Amino acid sequence: MVPLRGMRLPLLLLLLNTTFGSAYHWFNWQYEVGCQSDTFIAPADEAEVVRFLKEEFPEQSHIKVVGNGHGFGNLTTCINKGATNRTSHIVSLANLKKLQINKDMTVTVGAGWDVYDLVNELKNHNLSFDYLGAMRVQNIVGAISTGTHGTGQEITNMATQVVALRVVDARGNLKSINEYSNPEELKAFRVNLGALGLITEVTLKVQPTHFLKKTTKVLNATTDYNQLYTEIADLYKEHDRMTVWGPHFNWDAEAEDWIIEPTFFASWWEQTNYTGTGNCTLNYCANGCGDCIKDYICYDETSDAVSAPPQGICSSQFYAEIEHFFPMEHFVDAAVNYTKFQQAQTPRMKGFENQKMIFQLRALKGDDSYMSPANTYNLDSDSSGVFGILEIDWIQSVNHWDTLYNNQEFAYEFQEEFGALYNARSHWNKMSPNDPKHTLSVFPKLPQFLQIQERQDPNCQFVNEFLVNQLGIDRCRAALNL
């Protein structure tokens, strides 16, 4: 095994040797979610991953792989040292840096690659991904495993680019899964939530590097939300690949109320024959950062046009966030009612350190990954198969725990209010509430997923409290002292 000292830690992964004996402490990117393990393990290669798991299986140790911690919930939290009588390990696969360019327009990469570094390396080979999230700070396997996505009614999430992978189960057995030999299993392993074993490498589709034209247009806000969201829905009829940043609200401390900003913006991407100098990254508005509320056009290589590098993250302070997926047919009604629900709860937000509330609207083509928030398994036969996505961020003026906890508890209530009404699903890593009954209704393949999970992890070594409660893995409650 590679020791902690001297290794290159993944971006935004903080592992501190704490004062609590030999324990290690992990935090997410905002430092408001953390856990304390007995050890930190960084296998040098896949063979060491296998050997480590074989050794730990009879011990029934808790094992949690961590990437870059880019999440807002407890999906990737380890089991705290001392919480059970089992040893708790944090595992980083940062040393697995295989890169193989295949002849069939795919690449095979080790689990240690961050999206940002991988994208830059692919550019050296005149290759790129078509589908990326708004940011490139995640670990590539972490991004895939949690359903990270971009926007576009003909665009699916990042996981659908996976055509093969290698995974090690709790016993240390290594298995290759691909779209030809075991296509049904691949649907389970694409968005695996870290519950099915340690994925050591993935093979993904790529395409030749090309440019996109990005157009940004200033839009006018109104508190007539039916009018507002109908106008946005009309824009989605005109533009396939579009993100809408807004409407935004500012907190008026004197009035103790949210005040809508008069303007916001939409950006859409189109194919282009442009071959000049890329210039979209001069303004990091793929992530809503920078001087964004203005009309402009830019051109850039696909990755730089649609997503932001680490430099484009404008804030990592405490903030709560929800992101819900619902059939596009509900777009206007859902957006209106989410906004009205938020506004009706304003009295509960008085007395806290509020600063800004941001809405983001996107669209995504549905897919057949078992645990994808955009899975199409329970859609009506006349559905378009496209999902609208609504994100709300509650930004604080300072890092204040009471404000964070208040907003996080509030964020959970949106699923209870609208989940059944709009067939809405939460992003796994963004304030997803514990509701196994609803989870089963929107993820009809959950029973099949859990069968694979039990096969891959018979002693409940890869799960945590979040996964047990979210997915209803009752057999693992005793192992976690729940």
Q: Alpha-carbon dihedral of residues 4, 6, 7, 11, nearest 10 degrees? A: 100
Q: From 208, 241, 260, give the residue that closes a domain.
A: 208
**Bond preceding residue 58 cis, omega within 30 of 0:** no
133 and 237 both lie in a single domain: no
Q: From start to end of 94-210, where are the E strands?
A: 99-101, 106-110, 127-128, 162-168, 174-178, 198-205, 207-208
Q: Is residue 20 part of a domain?
A: no
Domain that holds residue 119: 99-208
52 occurs within a structural domain: no
Characterize the bridge pairing of strands 425-426 and 319-327: antiparallel
Q: Does some domain include residue 260?
A: yes
Residue 391, in any domain of the structure: yes
Same-domain status, 203 and 216: no
The pLDDT value given to residue 230 = 98
Q: Are residues 131 and 222 in the same domain?
A: no
* 182 assigned to some structural domain: yes
Same domain? For 152 and 114 the reply is: yes
DSSP three-state, residue 52: helix
Please tell me the predicted confidence (pLDDT) of residue 287: 66
The CATH number of whichever domain residue 247 belongs to comes to 3.30.70.2520
The per-residue pLDDT string of the chain (482 residues; one tens digit each, 9 = 90 and over) reads 433 333 333 333 334 443 344 679 998 888 888 899 999 999 999 999 999 999 999 999 999 998 888 877 788 899 999 999 999 999 999 999 999 999 999 999 999 999 999 999 999 999 999 889 888 888 999 999 999 999 999 999 999 999 999 999 999 999 999 999 999 999 999 999 999 999 999 999 999 999 999 999 999 999 999 999 999 999 999 999 999 999 999 999 999 999 999 999 999 999 999 988 888 877 777 666 778 899 999 999 999 888 887 777 777 788 889 999 999 999 999 999 999 999 999 999 999 999 999 999 999 999 999 999 999 999 999 999 999 999 999 999 999 999 999 999 999 999 999 999 999 999 998 888 788 889 999 999 999 999 999 999 999 999 999 999 999 999 999 999 98
Pair 221, 360 in one domain: yes
Helix/strand/coil (H/E/C) assignment for every residue in 250-304: EEECCCCEEEECCEEEEEEEEECCCCCCCCHHHCCHHHCCCCCCCCEEEEEEHHH
195 and 249 within one domain: no
Number of separate domains in the chain: 2
Same-domain status, 247 and 198: no
pLDDT of residue 14: 39
Total Cβ atoms within 10 A of residue 236: 21
241 belongs to a structural domain: yes
The residues near 94 (Cβ < 8 Å, ≥ 6 apart) are 7, 8, 9, 10, 42, 112
Domain-ending residue, one of 186, 208, 230:
208
Do 250 and 219 reside in the same domain of the chain? Answer: yes
Tell me whether residue 14 is in a domain. Answer: no
> Phi and psi of 476, rounded to 5°?
-100, 0
Q: Residue 135: which CATH number?
A: 3.30.465.10
Q: Are residues 135 and 274 in the same domain?
A: no
CA distance 321 to 318: 10
DSSP three-state, residue 454: helix
> Strand order of the sheet with strand 99-101?
99-101, 106-110, 198-205, 162-168, 174-178
Q: Of 90, 206, 108, 112, whose CA–CA distance to 166 is shortest?
A: 108
pLDDT for position 429? 83
Cβ burial, residue 282 (10 Å; 0-12/13-18/19+): exposed
Q: Is residue 467 part of a domain?
A: no
Q: Judge if 159 and 289 occupy the same domain.
A: no
**Residue 369 and residue 296 share a domain:** yes
From 394, 418, 433, give the residue that closes a domain. 433
Residues 183 and 246 in one domain: no
